[in-house]
Amino acid sequence: MKHDDLKPFHHALKILEDNCIGCVHCMRVCPTDAIRIFSGKAHVDQNRCVDCGECLNACPVDAIVVEQDDFNKIFSFDIRALLVPAILIGQFPEDIVESQILAALHELGFTHIFEVETIVPFLNDVFIDYQNRSNKKPLISSFCPAIVRLIQVRFPSLVGNIAQLKAPLDVAALYVRNLLEKKRGKKGKERSVGVFYVTPCAAKIAAVKSPVSDEEGRINGVINMDFIYNKMLRIISDKKIKPEQSPESVLRSGREILWSVTNGECYYEKGRSLAIDEIHNVINFLERVENGEMDEVDFLELRACDQSCAGGALAPQNRFLTVERLKNRVEKNSNRKNFNTRAFLTKNDISFLLENISVRPISPRSILKLDDDIEKAMVKMESVREMMKLLPNIDCGACGASSCSGLAEDIVKQEGSLDQCIFIQEILVRKNEQFIEHFEKIWGKAKLNRILSVKTNREEL
């Protein structure tokens, strides 16, 4: 077993027990079937969860939250750098200019601000070179951490197709830390360097706290986008900062700021590429990749959220408006003197980044197996098939599992029991005639007869 198989995933999504009403909304949308309800509360299987945030979006009572570092932690560092994804800029209407956004971030206490997408032109050069040397088809982007984890747990045979390159955030963090550590000052009086990141989603937090395949994170803390957005909006709308008094903008405004929205990566791909967003769409597509149907495609840009990062659970503004605003900013600035985006990297920077840009191969962490031993798994599989003849196939969720097949698998893994099924209880065990009458009215005679025809002397009952 490889080293990182032993380490549990870090998770950024938390369930607030006091708020959870034990409904089935989160359980239904979970793409890795990680949620079960018991004792009236939702529980997450930590080995299955990929921090995609689907549950958070589906929760009707805001019982699922994203963990957050204490903001004041930034003040324990002398140099406080903030990595800003362009999605944060896209939260603001275009009449709020880039320099106001920057000034608001300085006002909040950051000494250096660096837009993550600044690194994109460099990364594209690296990626083209990597792709030329790779024999994997299709090559899958390592950008979205929820997708990388999804592939590890649900598509273990495809882990080798994921590009073994750091995501822009990690490369940007490397660059910024390296740059600022040179500016720490004289020996003995060194200033401490803290690097922070504003995140639009839970998966990025999870990735920073336990990188998929890297031991050391270079980011000291993560700030949730909805939190900082509110603070920035207050500063900007209090007119504390007028556009004319704002410092010079160093935010990028070229095409690269669209990198984290859908088609952002594919835009630069020379070969045949496809961009797919929203995790269930991605799952359907990966099934076909696994069948070998997509071997003619060179590159896949896969993102867990609809509209990619603009649809992140922590991005406060409407995802479609965010994409439109970013496109408008690119348009607005298109006649401005072009940033030479590669020019800011020195030769030393480039060789330093190239030395550190690779990641180790990503290990599979299959959650689907019923048993490690194939023969035992086959016996369990047979039991699941038997059980499916008995269960009503309604997927109501009343048993606390996401579906009848989910319950059947829980039972063979000894994580559940058949008496959780209310239909089996009422029809076969209690033989409740009133219930049977209702059942037939709603679900039909065929389904009822199928359940009734099962021998009821099973030991599970």
Strands (E), 18-116: 35-38, 41-44, 64-66, 79-84, 112-115
> Which residue in 294, 381, 396, 398 binds another protein (CB under 8 A)?
381
Q: Does 377 bind another protein (CB under 8 A)?
A: yes
**CB 401 → another protein: shortest distance, Å?**
16
Which of 128-136, 254-262, 306-314, 371-379 is the region at the interface with another protein (rule: CB under 8 A)? 371-379
Q: What is the dihedral of CA 442, 446, 451, 453, to 10 degrees?
A: 150
Query: Which is closer to another protein, CB of 60 or CB of 292?
Result: 292
**In 10 A of CB 179, how many CB atoms?**
18
* Shortest reach from residue 50's CB to another protein, in Å: 16
Nearer to another protein, 18 or 375 (CB): 375
| Distance, CA of 423 to CA of 400 (rounded, Å) | 13
Structure tokens at 67: 């963990």
Site residues for another protein, window 173-232 (CB under 8 A)? none
Q: Which of 240, 376, 438, 445 binds another protein (CB under 8 A)?
A: 376
CA distances from 61 to 35, 44, 363 (A): 16, 17, 36
Distance of CA 264 to the CA centre of its chain: 17
Instruction: Looking at 115-201, list the stretches that DSSP marks H as alpha helix, in order from N- to C-terminal side.
Output: 120-133, 145-154, 168-181
Q: Which tokens is 417 given?
A: 């029991």
Contacts of 269 (CB under 8 A, 6+ apart): 298, 299, 301
Separation between Cα atoms, residue 277 and residue 414, nearest integer Å: 36
Q: CB-wise, 266 or 294, nearer to another protein?
A: 294
SS3 320: helix
Rounded least distance, CB 373 to another protein, Å: 8
CB of 94 or CB of 371, closer to another protein: 371
Contact flag: residue 370 with another protein (CB under 8 A) = yes
CB nearer to another protein: give 33 or 256: 33
Size of the site for another protein (CB under 8 A): 27
In whole angstroms, what is the distance from residue 195 CA to residue 222 CA? 9
As measured in angstroms, the least distance from the Cβ of 376 to another protein is 7
Stretch of 6-14, 72-80, 238-246, 360-368 contacting another protein, by CB under 8 A = 360-368
Q: Closest approach of Cβ 387 to another protein, in Å?
A: 14
Minimal distance in Å, beta carbon 408 to another protein? Answer: 11
> Which x/- pattern over 397-416 shows residues binding another protein (rule: CB under 8 A)?
------------x-------
Name the DSSP letter for residue 338: P
Q: Where in 116-175 is the site for another protein (CB under 8 A)?
A: 156-158
Q: Which residues inside 281-300 make contact with another protein, applying CB under 8 A? A: 287-288, 290-293
- Give the tokens for residue 179: 């740059």
Q: Which tokens go with 409?
A: 């698998």
Considering the complex, what minimum distance in angstroms separates the CB of residue 149 from another protein?
16
**What is the per-residue DSSP string for 212-261?**
SS-S-----EEEEHHHHHHHHHHHHHTTSS-GGGSPPP----SGGGGTTS
| Centroid of chain to Cα 106 | 28
Least gap, CB of 166 to another protein (angstroms): 24
Neighbours of 235 (CB within 10 A): 18
Minimal distance, residue 148 CB to another protein, in Å: 16
Q: Does 378 bind another protein (CB under 8 A)?
A: yes
User: What is the Cα–Cα distance from 392 to 405, expressed in whole angstroms?
Assistant: 10
Asked if 321 is part of the footprint of another protein (rule: CB under 8 A), the reply reads no
Tokens of 390: 């008995």
The token pair that represents 427 in the structure block: 């029809």
Q: CB-wise, 32 or 118, nearer to another protein?
A: 32
Among residues 46, 245, 328, 366, which is the contact residue for another protein, using CB under 8 A? 366
Q: Find the binder of another protein among 1, 375, 434, 442 (CB under 8 A).
A: 375
Q: Which is nearer to another protein, 183 or 385 (CB)?
A: 385
Note whether 388 binds another protein by CB under 8 A: no
233, 250, 330, 379: residue in contact with another protein (rule CB under 8 A): 379
d(CA 142, CA 133): 17
For residue 277, the SS3 value is: strand
Q: Select the residue interacting with another protein from 371, 395, 426, 440 (CB under 8 A).
A: 371
Q: What amino acid is encoded at 181 in this protein? A: E
Q: Give the pairing type, strands 35-38 and 41-44.
A: antiparallel
Q: How far is the CB of 392 from another protein (least distance, A)?
A: 21
User: Which of the residues 10 through 69 are near another protein (CB under 8 A)?
Assistant: none
- Smallest gap, in angstroms, from Cβ of residue 444 to another protein? 24
Q: What is the footprint of another protein within residues 228-287 (CB under 8 A)?
A: 287
Binding residues (CB under 8 A) for another protein: these are 156-158, 287-288, 290-293, 364, 366, 368-379, 381-382, 385, 409
